[in-house]
Amino acid sequence: MKKTSECILICFCLTCIYLLGITHSCAQNKPDNLPFYDDKAFHFGWYIGGNSLYTNIKDNKKLPYNDSIMSFNAKTGLGWQVGLLADARLLSFLHVRFLPDITFTQREFEFYVLHEDGLRTARNNFEVIYLDLPIEVKLMAKRWHNFRPYLIGGFKYDYDLGSIRRKKIADDEFLFKINESEMLYTVGVGFDFYFSWFKMAVELKSSFGITDILNRDYQTVYADCIEKMKSQLFYINLTFQ
């Protein structure tokens, strides 16, 4: 996940530098676009973007779990999201936002199990369809022509709509189960670009799970290997207002 995030971050920065150069060159030849846009009390829009989902797993070293399980890991799942945006102005530099969306991604776990005939791999795959309900604050720097950077912070509640489908699958098809909802906190940065008829923003955000998502009611030798399990999501969004 680290290499993927670094590549995405580099591409993101290069894109922002390119757009900033265009914005600056245009600003030298004509007045600023939408000069009173940020004075309005409310704004509405929509956004679309890509994401990566990684599951942080903490080993359970307190319990002597099954000796046949040699190791396990979680793979990074890639996906996308689309949502709506409602923005309220509190101060000239501080806004609060509500950004409900639908996020599509996946989880994949691998357990390496020792059998009489050698080492085997047991997998657990989860289709994830999040209904996201985030509330964020947006702390903005001073506008520079048609460009304005900002910081993001907030919390969100996620409900996994994919869990509805999983409830219809037989229990013995799961190595372990995960909870259908979780709480996360979000931090990130963004860049507003003002055009003649609309404002576009590029955002880079990460969300970190607060609650343990491992279902303790479904106990197996695989679940016994895990003490805690939390989500970590990385987003790149394009917003339009």
Is the Cβ–Cβ distance between 136 and 90 less than 8 Å? Answer: no
- The answer to whether domain 2-30+41-240 has CATH 1.10.3720 is no
Q: Taking residues 119-134, what's their average pLDDT?
A: 87
pLDDT score of 108 more than 60:
yes
3-state secondary structure string, the chain? CHHHHHHHHHHHHHHHHHHHHHHHHHHCCCCCCCCCHHHCCEEEEEEEEEEEEEEEEEECCCCCCCCCEEEEEEECEEEEEEEEEEEEECCCCEEEEECCEEEEEEEEEEEEEEECCEEEEEEEEEEEEEEEEEEEEEEECCCECCEEEEEEEEEEEEEECHHHHHCCCCHHHCCCCECCEEEEEEEEEEEEEECCCCEEEEEEEEEEECCCCECCCCCCCCHHHEEEEEEEEEEEEEEEC
Residue 208 binned pLDDT confidence (cut-offs 50, 70, 90): very high
Please state, rounded to an integer, the average pLDDT across all residues of the chain.
83
| Higher-scoring residue by pLDDT: 30, 4 | 30
The residues that bridge with 52 in the sheet, in sequence order, are 78, 234
**Structural domain spans, the chain:** 2-30+41-240
0.75 surpassed by pTM:
yes
pLDDT at 155: 96
Rounded to whole angstroms, the Cα distance separating 38 from 50 reads 27
- Of 142, 134, 128, residue with least CA distance to 178: 128
What is the signed CA dihedral for 178, 54, 223, 129, rounded to 10 degrees?
20
Comparison of pLDDT for 216 and 11, the residue scoring more: 216
Residue 125 pLDDT class (50, 70, 90 cuts): confident
169-185 residue pLDDT tens: 766 677 888 888 999 99
The pLDDT assigned to 2 comes to: 46
pLDDT of residue 126: 85
- Two tokens, residue 45: 């829009």
Between these two residues, 163 and 85, which has the higher pLDDT value?
85
